[in-house]
Amino acid sequence: MNCFKKKRFSLVIICVLTATYSFGQIRVSEFIQDSKIASADNNKLFFIDFWATWCGPCITAKEHLGVLQKQFPSDFYVVSLSRENPITVERFLKKRPTNLAIAIDYNGETFKNYGVRALPEGVLLNANGKVLWQGGAPDLKKEIVSRFLRQQTARTSLGSFFNVVSIDEKSGADYIPTEALEIKSLTSEKIELRVIDNDNYLKINGSLKQIIGYLARIYKDQIVLGEDLDTNYEVYFKKPFNVNENLAYKLITEMNLGVERKYDEGEGIKFEVETPKFWDTNQIDWGKNNAKYLVGDSQIKADNVSLKDMAYQLAYVLDLPVIVPEDDEISLSLHDWDFHYKFFQLMQTDLEDNFGIKAEKEIVTYPVYHIQKEAP
């Protein structure tokens, strides 16, 4: 009998802001299947295997974890967690079945909380949710599991350790904005960017620099904030709003801030597009309200995003400014993407051959936006 009732929903989950959980606070959206090897009743250790169906090394890692799970069927429980659409995962499992437990992280909540950007990755936790070990999933060895099993005494069940968040559980607690734009100051000293984009609103938690960067799709080093401005906020944009509306400018204006654009020079990547061969939006379909990006250890995949949006994501991965054409038709129209990014020459080949984008790493001139308080 399954430990969880399967639930399908189109609600984006509110993300928690801490990476160390107390009892029963590891959130997932849905369990596709329970483990066919391990007992779910009374375990000392839980291992979250972050993976994706498109990630070749993840499949190899899963085979390794399957062997490891068989060696510890009573005290140790592996959950393979994907942030892909459940339908995509189920189709994959029909072709490549596994005996491990499979769950969905619908909006990448747990991925974000543990800072997972490269796959395969894994986190080993004790029964109280404390992180004991984190690293590449293939690097988890029998000796590591044995050592931690000897050290741990607390036990818990799968149902107590994981929290499946449903529509009913969230609908009463979820805040719905009443104004077109609502801004709330947060007191946390350090906060990771969290984005919820559903039918009712766009919600962003993070520092002001992170929020503006996300809204404007501008790399963080291209934003300079005045003294004491880069504090943390929770921002709501009520829907519907014009998809072409400049939400970054709207936020800055509402906060009585001014922007001065200057220019700087430094190493960056410049995109040139003479004859675009962009994919349409039918090549990848992860469903409504799903993550737009999947970033592996060497590949970026994206569903229905613009060249400007993709370049923003790439800039953060490479930690370099990425300059795109000013032509709105080229840079703002929506497409699907799948390309290599880890090794620059392979990225160049992928982008040029598959999308008609010529990428050069060189000294580039890029805009820098200086944001200050407006004079009273």
Q: Is the pLDDT of residue 99 over 80?
A: yes
Among 31-35, 65-69, 194-198, 348-352, which stretch is predicted with the lowest mean pLDDT? Answer: 194-198
For residue 204, give Cα distances in angstroms to 136, 263, 373: 30, 28, 21
Sign of the alpha-carbon torsion through 47, 52, 53, 56: negative
Contact 131, 21 (CB under 8 A): no
Q: Confirm if 374 and 258 have CB atoms less than 8 A apart.
A: yes
Q: What end-to-end distance do the CA atoms of the chain give, in Å? A: 66
Question: Mean pLDDT throughout 13-31?
Answer: 50
CA distances (Å), origin 319, targets 49, 79, 201, 308, 333: 26, 31, 30, 16, 24
Residues present in the chain in total: 376
| CA dihedral of residues 351, 363, 314, 306 (deg, nearest 10) | -70
Of these ranges, 44-53, 89-98, 166-175, the one predicted with the greatest mean pLDDT is 44-53
pLDDT band at 66 (very low <50, low <70, confident <90, very high): very high
pLDDT > 80? residue 190: no
Whether the pLDDT of residue 171 is over 50: the answer is: no
Each residue's pLDDT tens digit, 217-241: 999 889 999 878 889 999 999 998 8
Cβ contact 201:177 at 8 Å? yes
Residue 363 is classified by DSSP as: E
**Range with lowest mean pLDDT among 20-24, 68-72, 338-342:** 20-24
Strands, sheet with 131-135, edge to edge from the N-terminal-most edge strand: 30-33, 101-104, 76-82, 45-50, 121-126, 131-135
DSSP strand pairing (162-164 vs 257-272): unpaired
**Residue 166's pLDDT band (boundaries 50, 70, 90)?**
low
Average pLDDT, the chain: 84
Enter the DSSP assignment of 13.
P
Q: Is the dihedral of CA 274, 216, 173, 188 positive or negative?
A: positive
Instruction: Give the pLDDT mean for 27-40.
Output: 88
User: For residue 294, which phi and psi values (nearest 5 degrees)?
Assistant: -130, 120
- Helix axis angle, 56-71 to 142-151, nearest 10°: 50
Q: Which residue has the higher pLDDT, 165 or 134?
A: 134
The strand pair at 162-164 and 181-186 is best described as unpaired
pLDDT-derived band at 18 (thresholds 50, 70, 90) equals very low
Query: What pLDDT is attached to residue 90?
Result: 87
Question: What band does 8 get if pLDDT is binned at 50, 70 and 90?
Answer: very low
Residue type, 141: K
The answer on pLDDT for 3 being more than 60 is: no
64 three-class SS:
helix
Percent of the chain with pLDDT over 90: 47
| Mean pLDDT to the nearest integer, 171-191 | 76
Give residue 20's pLDDT band: very low, low, confident or very high (50, 70, 90). very low
Q: Which residues pair with 28 in a beta bridge?
A: 164
Residue 27 one-letter amino acid: R
Strands of 97-160, DSSP E: 101-104, 121-126, 131-135
3-state helix, strand, coil in the chain (%, to 5): 25, 30, 40
112-146 confidence digits (pLDDT tens): 888 887 888 999 999 888 899 999 888 899 999 99
Q: Which domains does the chain have, with CATH numbers?
A: 26-167 (3.40.30.10), 174-253 (no CATH), 256-370 (no CATH)
Taking 50 as the threshold, does the pLDDT of residue 16 lie above it?
no
Model confidence at 297, pLDDT cuts 50, 70, 90, reads low
Give the separation between CA 104 and CA 26, rounded to whole angstroms. 12
Provide the pairing of β-strand 76-82 with 45-50: parallel
Using DSSP, state whether 266 is helix, strand or coil: strand
Query: Once rounded to an integer, what is the mean pLDDT over residues 28-41?
Result: 88
Helices (H), the chain: 56-71, 86-95, 109-113, 142-151, 158-161, 167-171, 208-216, 247-254, 307-318, 328-332, 344-355
Bridge partners of residue 232, in order along the sequence: 186, 207
